[in-house]
Amino acid sequence: MGILVGGTTMERERDEMEAARAMAGTDDTALAKATAGASATGAPMTMAAKMQTRTGQWIKKAPTEKLHLPEPNIFVPKDLSLKEVHEKVTFPTVLRKSPLSQLWYKPDTLFSTPKVHIIIDFHCPLSSHSSEAVVATELFVDLLVDYLNAYAYDAQIAGLFYSIYLTSAGFQVSLGGYNDKMRALLNAILVQIASFEVKPNRFSALKETSVKDYQNFNFRQPYSQASYYVSLILEDKKWPVAEKLEALSKLESDFFAKFVPHLLSKTFLECYVQGNIEPSEAKSVVQEIENTIFNAPNSLFKSMSPSEYLTKRVVMLENELKCYYQTEGLNQKNQNSSVIQYIQVHQDDAILNIKLELFSLIASQPAFNQLRTVEQLGYITSLSLRSDYGVLALQVVIQSTVKDPSYLDGRVDEFFKMFESKIYELSDKDFKRNVKSLIDSKLEKFKNLWEESDFYWGEIQAGTLKFDRVESEVTMLRELKKEEFIEYFDQYIKVDAPQRRTLSVQVFGGNHSAEFKTAIAEADPPKMYRITDIFGFKRSRPLYSSLKGGPGRITMD
């Protein structure tokens, strides 16, 4: 094989780069000496001359402004030091209160990381007084998220995150990550919220997306539709999807631009700060929030009075009565039907909580085995706990193509009747084993700062404020007797229990349209009540009290 004069393209480029680097620190005399022994081809001299021209071009300004280095990332942390915790703080405490906000605070005492989690709950009572207000608030949140996308990438690669999402009484901002530059991200978000303007092109685009999302509700699985109807029946103030879709379709940018100042004209901020941050700095953060949101020139935000604080309440079902709601699936091309049997048990209470959790632990696998594996009623089958604003319940979910929802509901009742003997015959050994399993699950340690703060924030948001929930419930579990557990089952859960309160929501799919017509024509059996008007039913029923107090409530009960 012959020798390739000049080498490969890659080798030539490498030689050119080496020549350019050499020229940068070599004068003409030195260069002449270095090339005195060059071959007759003059190749090295040719490369040097070529590179001199090329490097000159490189030094010149780029031919277009689009070619430039990225701007410095303002969110990259520099200070990763840990703040000193002067005293052991076990639970969150109220650190600051004002007519505009309340601050809950807890330093990081577990993970020793230079990170912080900040949650700001914007309580806006005008966000949910009508279906129009609800969809306009949803669109306001969507637009905020859209406007803030410019910060998302830089924040993410610098170890920060944020989210903005809708709540039942307004919206929430959550931020987490390295504490050193958290205030820079917080300020960027607050300025965007405080200076919110409607951009017609983005309004139209996001409205169209939201309309499609609502329209797609009809194509959800029947079990998802059934869960929606359960919430619609139970929640005191909840707007139907159909009404929200109609309101959204009619929403115009001019009306929306007027609605946003109206929405924000009554606002209270509930704030939670946890992590590598000192108390004085946490107070300073909330003061900065108030200054940006409420005290800035031309601010849209105004304070609200305690009497305007919204609460979410839940319909109380009647003892020894099964209420049931039957409807056709919104997409009759879907052959599946579904039933949710909801057994309402009690409002948040430590001793009742552990008994209900223990029953769910014991019964969930047998329910699946009987209804799914043995009877093969449907691929989706589960028994689980459910909580609606502090009201706890059991729910059994089945989705099926082979049987209609009325039949499925009857099979759920039969399972509970069959399971009575299992509860009564439960051995002491099995009882203690299940109690230990529940205790072990409760004693699992928080994996990170976010998991811990989410637990405490859940207590604050619900209004329960039981920060020692795990410890107190574990103590009660260790003292729980099998006889007390069986008595609880007899009182609340078994089919003929004196305090059993049941709601059955039945969604009939395409395979069972004939069964639906038959079902709605039948008379109510004893101790059963057919719901034909959801809102009339809700108006006729008492409500559970709210666990959520107004601004300033800090009682640890």
Q: What is the pLDDT of residues 303-322, one digit of tens each?
A: 999 889 888 999 999 999 99
Q: Evaluate if residue 10 carries a pLDDT over 80.
A: no
Query: CA–CA separation, 222 vs 82, rounded Å?
Result: 51
Give the confidence band of 467 by pLDDT, cuts at 50, 70, 90.
Answer: very high
| 261 and 347 both lie in a single domain | no
Q: Evaluate if residue 33 carries a pLDDT over 60.
A: no
pLDDT given at position 46:
52
pLDDT given at position 41:
45
Name residue 322's amino acid. K
| 286 and 327 both lie in a single domain | no
Q: Evaluate if residue 2 carries a pLDDT over 50.
A: no
Torsion of CA 83, 89, 92, 98, to 10 degrees: -70
- Residue ranges with strand state E in 88-157: 93-97, 101-107, 115-123
Query: Average pLDDT for residues 96-113, to the nearest whole number?
Result: 96
Domain boundary among 308, 342, 373: 308
pLDDT given at position 26:
47
In a domain, residue 332? The reply is: yes
In a domain, residue 71? The reply is: no
Helix 149-157 with 131-147: angle, nearest 10 deg: 50
Query: Average pLDDT for residues 183-208, to the nearest whole number?
Result: 96
Predicted confidence (pLDDT) per residue in 12-23, tens digit: 444 544 544 444
Give the confidence band of 296 by pLDDT, cuts at 50, 70, 90.
Answer: confident
| 303 and 331 both lie in a single domain | no
Query: Average pLDDT for residues 513-534, to the nearest whole number?
Result: 94
Q: Give the CATH number, domain containing residue 155.
A: 3.30.830.10
Give the confidence band of 6 by pLDDT, cuts at 50, 70, 90.
Answer: very low
In a domain, residue 62? The reply is: no
> Which H, E and C letters describe 329-397, residue by residue?
CCCCCCCCEEEEEEEEEEECCHHHHHHHHHHHHHHHHHHHHHHHHHCCCCCEEEEEEEEECCEEEEEEE
Output the average pLDDT for the chain.
90
Domain boundary among 252, 287, 308: 308
Considering only residues 51 and 381, tell me which one the structure prediction assigns the higher pLDDT.
381
Predicted confidence (pLDDT) per residue in 356-412, tens digit: 999 999 999 999 999 999 999 999 999 999 999 999 999 999 999 999 999 999 999
pLDDT given at position 553:
42
In a domain, residue 388? The reply is: yes
Pull the structure tokens for residue 296. Answer: 């800035």
Query: CA–CA separation, 139 vs 349, rounded Å?
Result: 37
Query: CA–CA separation, 430 vs 443, rounded Å?
Result: 20
Nearest to 477, CA basis, from 361, 346, 342 = 361
In a domain, residue 8? The reply is: no
| 329 and 204 both lie in a single domain | no
The DSSP result for 12-80, as a single string, is HHHHHHHHHHHHHT--HHHHHHHTTT--TT-HHHHHHHHHHHHHHHHHSPPSSTT--PPPP-TT-----
| 257 and 284 both lie in a single domain | yes
Give the confidence band of 50 by pLDDT, cuts at 50, 70, 90.
Answer: low
| 289 and 327 both lie in a single domain | no
Query: Average pLDDT for residues 406-432, to the nearest whole number?
Result: 97
| 325 and 301 both lie in a single domain | no
pLDDT given at position 196:
94
Query: Average pLDDT for residues 86-97, to the nearest whole number?
Result: 89
Pull the structure tokens for residue 177. Answer: 């990550």
| Tokens 């031309």 belong to residue | 298
Query: Average pLDDT for residues 327-344, to the nearest whole number?
Result: 97
- End-to-end Cα separation, the chain, in angstroms: 91
In a domain, residue 244? The reply is: yes
Q: In a 3-state reduction of DSSP, which class is residue 128?
A: coil
Domain around 493: 321-540
Q: Evaluate if residue 7 carries a pLDDT over 70.
A: no
pLDDT over 90 for what percent of the chain? 81
Query: CA–CA separation, 116 vs 56, rounded Å?
Result: 49
Nearest to 159, CA basis, from 81, 83, 73 = 73
Q: Evaluate if residue 554 carries a pLDDT over 50.
A: no
Query: Average pLDDT for residues 255-278, to the nearest whole number?
Result: 96
How much is the pTM?
0.85
| 365 and 393 both lie in a single domain | yes
Q: Evaluate if residue 38 carries a pLDDT over 80.
A: no
Query: CA–CA separation, 288 vs 101, rounded Å?
Result: 12
In a domain, residue 512? The reply is: yes
Tell the burial category of 514 from Cβ atoms under 10 Å away from its Cβ (0-12, 13-18, 19+): exposed
In a domain, residue 152? The reply is: yes
The strand pair at 501-508 and 337-347 is best described as antiparallel
Number of domains in the chain: 2
| 196 and 247 both lie in a single domain | yes
Q: Evaluate if residue 443 carries a pLDDT over 50.
A: yes
Per the CB < 8 A criterion, the answer to whether 93 and 147 are in contact is no
| 150 and 275 both lie in a single domain | yes
| 370 and 505 both lie in a single domain | yes
Query: CA–CA separation, 448 vs 269, rounded Å?
Result: 26
| 339 and 372 both lie in a single domain | yes
Query: CA–CA separation, 334 vs 511, rounded Å?
Result: 8
Indicate if the alpha-carbon torsion angle 284, 287, 289, 295 is positive or negative.
negative
Query: CA–CA separation, 71 vs 501, rounded Å?
Result: 61
The DSSP result for 211-272, as a single string, is HHHHHGGGGS-HHHHHHHHHHHHHBSS---HHHHHHHHHH--HHHHHHHHHHHHTSBEEEEE
Domain boundary among 308, 329, 359: 308
Considering only residues 314 and 28, tell me which one the structure prediction assigns the higher pLDDT.
314
Query: Average pLDDT for residues 208-220, to the nearest whole number?
Result: 97
pLDDT given at position 49:
57
Q: Which of 209-223, 237-251, 295-309, 482-496 has the lowest mean pLDDT?
A: 295-309
Pull the structure tokens for residue 143. Answer: 């637009």
The strand pair at 321-328 and 528-530 is best described as parallel
Query: CA–CA separation, 547 vs 331, rounded Å?
Result: 37
